[in-house]
Structure 1
């Protein structure tokens, strides 16, 4: 009888179903190898604690991500979780019905970790929460101290627009490329137009134009932004072949010490090293951050910043397991690892306290002290208007379009979207 009972038990064991595993696909754009390794290790820790969940981390390069995401989200192969810069692009995704509301699934602890700003940033106009904030970022004017010394340019002399243009000319005269730019990708060029708008129009002017009030983006301040941009472009400050250069190309050029400045997000601290020929980039002691030049009569507050509040969104078919994974990934303990290694400035409560990198600390202070932290304009204004902003910015960088035409095209795009 014992043998029969044992056989029966073994038979039942043989036909008992193996515990089902839920697969969570988290689509990311992280390209720095060490940062990817950190993400993989966090996923491994999570899966060890949750053997019923498998986390997959597919990658798309930045430009491919932007190009393919809309189609992916409408397909059967949509990721459960994916990177986002927030803003109007996120709003349109929510309106299109490709996202899952998670306000009733995300824990109170996870919401508290990102604070009111982190929750509101990923709450759509329909009142639903569709994602979780991860980090804050700022677009800054990185500069190479060694090249400044070689050209005899005092960084303090570039605090005004006239002084900045004079400094650019001094670099030209010294045979040094003043500014690296990846105009092929267009969005790096839009940082110049956007920073000028932040200075000239300020928060109230930008928000009024985005609503279509008055002359909108065809108004005086926005035309002026284009005119100032053209003043810079007329000096031919960019590297040779800038129109065919990607962001990575420009980042590497700056990291190799072949351009004096690069207007780029704080992520370029690591990216310029990874994109440089020797993978070391500019040593910290030779690297600096310049304040963007002030413009006399501008309506912007001197403390205003431009950057992002990035995070992740959940696609409409995302499981509760996907939310569980993001809560783990976004925990202060895990986000502190990113802060410690200066990959980005995490928003999770207390995570940034371990930052020692002087550049990231400075940027964090800039953002926390800002009167207005403007979201990247190509994201804030939605994909259609943002695309036009990027297009005209690349044209302005090439000195191939008038300021009036650029402003009118953006206004028309806004009018079409209202």
Structure 2
């Protein structure tokens, strides 16, 4: 009789251990940040919806990170989509309906636009690792944090060194707008496109107007309009100055002839084929171009100085930053995945795809051919994107409309200036 009793006891003990194992849970977001192996019996048939506005190469990096998490958590599926130029309007519609994805890219608006819908993240285990230079742009006046920043944007104008060398241009010597105009002319004279813009996506025009507004209205002591922009008293007749820069590029023949219909991918491919000299884009376009030509020689330079007393600046701040919907039915799992993204190998993968530095001070990556450009510009001032600080919520769309109109032949005073003025007044008063 003893033998059956021993066997029964062993079976009961094994069953008890099995139940204990099944009942355990590692849904704590801090634990997920330490290991990809967070599989539990409770993680069954969970789908996290993650929306971005990422370019292809960055989207692939996001998907690679998601695949690693899914492999370690068989019950979890992460659906990642990029909405491109439609992202902003789609997110506004989702906010209005209070029907948001579990996670989304905040593209510089985590505080001003999205904070009422986002989970506060100050207590997350990774929060103390964020680079101090980023904190002012991703926290509100009470120090509340709503996103995991993944990289720090730093760039201005992308250059193709092979084209510039053929044209006799030294990228390190480019400082003023006149320097750039002379370089554009030299590139044009060798039969190449000086400035490439894929205007099928109007965000490229908005990007140009946005970053050059920093030089025109912020980076010059004699023309520092930051206070007037913030209090709503800016003289919008001055907008004709930055508008004229874009019109001049077209009128001088410095833009690609198909500028209004070309896709971003087609311009990146031409850049990779050493047919385009400059792009007023972030460093991510270099990563995209390298996929067409691994031997590409490219880098970036600070914004052209347009005022006599202007100073060289880069533009930057948060680029890839992800928040969690506070009303998500999968909030606990979304926080766990957010913490997983904060791991060094995952954050650096996304930062490298974007061509930026990681958002955590103790993480570093090899920039390859971009390394000397980061070194060359290490002491250059970084200004935040103009629209994120000085324009009210909603005017990124206005910049797209204005830019497209200018390149298509619209008048500066009669259309561009008036639309900027009208939309600023309307949206500024809404924001008050």
C-alpha separation in 2, matches of 1:197 and 1:225? 6
- Trace 1:217-236 onto structure 2 (pairs within 5 A): 218=236, 220=238, 222-236=239-253
Indicate yes or no: 2:421 matched with 1:411.
Answer: yes
Larger deviation: 121-130 or 408-417? 121-130
Q: CA deviation at 1:400?
A: 2.5
C-alpha separation in 2, matches of 1:161 and 1:4? 86
Equivalent residue for 1:263, pick from 269, 277, 280: 280
Equivalent residue for 1:194, pick from 210, 214, 218: 210
C-alpha separation in 2, matches of 1:231 and 1:36? 34
Q: In 2, are the aligned partners of 1:339 and 1:355 still within 8 Å (CA)?
A: no
C-alpha separation in 2, matches of 1:37 and 1:296? 40
Indicate yes or no: 2:114 matched with 1:93.
Answer: yes
**Which structure shows the higher helix fraction?**
1
Q: CA deviation at 1:54?
A: 1.6
Structure 1 pair 385/364, CA: closer, same or farther in 2 (3 Å)? farther
C-alpha separation in 2, matches of 1:364 and 1:163? 22
Q: In 1, are the aligned partners of 2:226 and 2:390 still within 8 Å (CA)?
A: no
Identify the residue that residue 261 of structure 2 maps to in structure 1: 244
Q: In 2, are the aligned partners of 1:217 and 1:407 still within 8 Å (CA)?
A: no
Q: In 1, are the aligned partners of 2:70 and 2:78 still within 8 Å (CA)?
A: no
C-alpha separation in 1, matches of 2:225 and 2:342? 32
Identify the residue that residue 349 of structure 1 maps to in structure 2: 361
SS at match of 2:281: strand
C-alpha separation in 2, matches of 1:301 and 1:153? 21
Q: CA deviation at 1:153?
A: 4.3
Q: In 1, are the aligned partners of 2:155 and 2:300 still within 8 Å (CA)?
A: no
Structure 1 pair 383/251, CA: closer, same or farther in 2 (3 Å)? farther
Identify the residue that residue 91 of structure 2 maps to in structure 1: 69
Q: CA deviation at 1:135?
A: 0.9
Larger deviation: 35-44 or 126-135? 35-44
Q: In 2, are the aligned partners of 1:307 and 1:376 still within 8 Å (CA)?
A: no
Larger deviation: 188-197 or 70-79? 70-79
* TM-score normalised over the length of structure 1: 0.79
Deviations 1:366-408 (A, max 9, x none): 3x53434222527863442221122212333344322574234
Equivalent residue for 2:49, pick from 25, 31, 44: 25
Identify the residue that residue 315 of structure 2 maps to in structure 1: 306
Equivalent residue for 1:272, pick from 269, 289, 313: 289
* TM-score normalised over the length of structure 2: 0.77
SS at match of 1:236: coil
Q: In 2, are the aligned partners of 1:132 and 1:313 still within 8 Å (CA)?
A: yes
Q: In 2, are the aligned partners of 1:212 and 1:414 still within 8 Å (CA)?
A: no
C-alpha separation in 1, matches of 2:301 and 2:269? 19
Q: In 1, are the aligned partners of 2:105 and 2:323 still within 8 Å (CA)?
A: yes
Equivalent residue for 1:121, pick from 137, 140, 145: 137
